[in-house]
Amino acid sequence: MIAEAGAAGAGPLRDRLGRAAASYAGFLPAALLFGGFFLVPLAIIVCYSFWRVVDYSVVHDWTFDNYTYFFTTPTYVSTMWATLWVSCLATAITIALAFPFAYWLSRHVPRRLRAPLLVLVVVPFWTSYLLRAYSWLTILGEKGLLNRALEGIGITSHPIGLFLYDRPAVILVLVYLYFPFAALTLYSSIERFDWDQLKAAMDLGAPPLTAIRRILVPQVKPGIVTAVIFVFIPVLGEYLTPQIVGGTRGVMIGNLVVNFFNAAQYTRGAAISLLIAAFVIVLLVVFRRSLSAPEAYGA
């Protein structure tokens, strides 16, 4: 009896496994790509971060030195904190500008004008990132547009160097560069909102701000979270913008990575890259409930 049952059970089980294998076979290309281009390189970087460089070559000596070196060097630690607050501030400003824009676009712009306006938002992507960052030099520089305009109006008598080569310039350019991502994501989220709901909430006794907090925000939250992630993660690893408009005072953690790799300090560079990755993971864990895949890809 038992033997029979076992034999009878084994057949279907094998069948089931076979079917499962067959149904997962479709994932194979994706799994290979993901493994080959993401997991393996990541594993290499993790290993690098625990090795040492001796005479410009990597030695497979396991050590925490790279991490202790980073955290015991005050400049690096302060750069890390600066990167965090610059990223947070740039993200906050981007969202704070993109949200009203998306709101305005979906509420006050006639339907036929929305598509052209959205195209205008995306137009900057048609030029290279470098070009867009460099063009700010001609606006913010000592002989730039801004200084000349100020002198023209008579507010200043000599060029002000303040606009360039510091963190404000970095934040400004980052906001400019990442605004389209946030605007598109937020728009796709707000555009689906039924505004009668806000009217209904106020009709039921909610003051305007309560209505927004209780009714609008919960429903567009996935869009806001997605926008935050779309902006914060790339900004955290930025190195070109701080290099172009930030100068020595605008250095971000991404510049440290580049510097270390340029100086053949691969293991230290790897350790810092993993620090950035750690921040990203923390962010994703915090927001994991609110992040919806359709929202991210709908935009």
Partner 1 sequence: MELPTPLSAAIGAAPPLGAGAAEATPEVGCEARDRAGISLRRVTKRYGSRVAVAELDLDIRDGEFFCLLGPSGCGKTTTLNLIGGFVAPTEGTVWLRGERIDTLPPHRRPVNTVFQSYALFPHMTVRENVAFGLRMDGVPKGKARVRVDEALALVGLEAQAESAPAQLSGGQQQRVAVARALVKRPAVLLLDEPLGALDLKLRQRLQVELAQIHHEVGTTFVYVTHDQEEAMSLADRIAVLNDGRIEQVGTPEEIYRRPVSRFVADFIGHANFIEVEVEGDAARLRDGTRIPCGGRHPDGPATLMLRPEAIRLVAADDPEGRLSGLVLKASFLGSQMRVAVESPASELPLILSLPGHEATAVPEPGTAVGLAWGADDALILEPAGATPR
Residues at the interface with partner 1 (CB under 8 A): 194, 196-197, 199-208, 210-211, 214-215, 218-219
Report the 10 Å Cβ neighbour count for 83: 24
Which CB atom, from 31 or from 217, has the smaller least distance to partner 1?
217
Identity of residue 35? G
Least CB distance to partner 1 at residue 118 (A): 25
Which CB atom, from 201 or from 224, has the smaller least distance to partner 1?
201
Which CB atom, from 219 or from 259, has the smaller least distance to partner 1?
219
As beta bridge partners, residue 54 has 57
Least CB distance to partner 1 at residue 197 (A): 5
Tokens 């929305």, residue located: 114
State the Cα–Cα distance between residues 108 and 215, nearest whole angstrom. Answer: 20
Choose among 226, 223, 217, 224: nearest CA to 284. 226
Going by the DSSP 8-state scheme, the letter that residue 245 receives in this structure is I
Which CB atom, from 90 or from 201, has the smaller least distance to partner 1?
201
Which CB atom, from 170 or from 201, has the smaller least distance to partner 1?
201
Least CB distance to partner 1 at residue 15 (A): 37
Which CB atom, from 85 or from 195, has the smaller least distance to partner 1?
195
CA distances from 40 to 33, 35, 45, 46, 47 (A): 10, 6, 9, 10, 11
Least CB distance to partner 1 at residue 294 (A): 15
Backbone φ, ψ for residue 95 (5° rounding): -65, -40
Least CB distance to partner 1 at residue 92 (A): 25
Least CB distance to partner 1 at residue 211 (A): 8
What lies within 8 Å, CB to CB, of 275 at 6+ separation is 70, 80, 253
What lies within 8 Å, CB to CB, of 20 at 6+ separation is none
Backbone φ, ψ for residue 58 (5° rounding): -80, 130
Which CB atom, from 2 or from 204, has the smaller least distance to partner 1?
204
Which CB atom, from 211 or from 245, has the smaller least distance to partner 1?
211
What lies within 8 Å, CB to CB, of 133 at 6+ separation is 173, 177, 240, 241, 244, 245
Going by the DSSP 8-state scheme, the letter that residue 205 receives in this structure is T
Least CB distance to partner 1 at residue 198 (A): 8
Least CB distance to partner 1 at residue 95 (A): 21
* Helix spans in 50-166 (H): 65-72, 74-108, 111-122, 129-140, 145-153
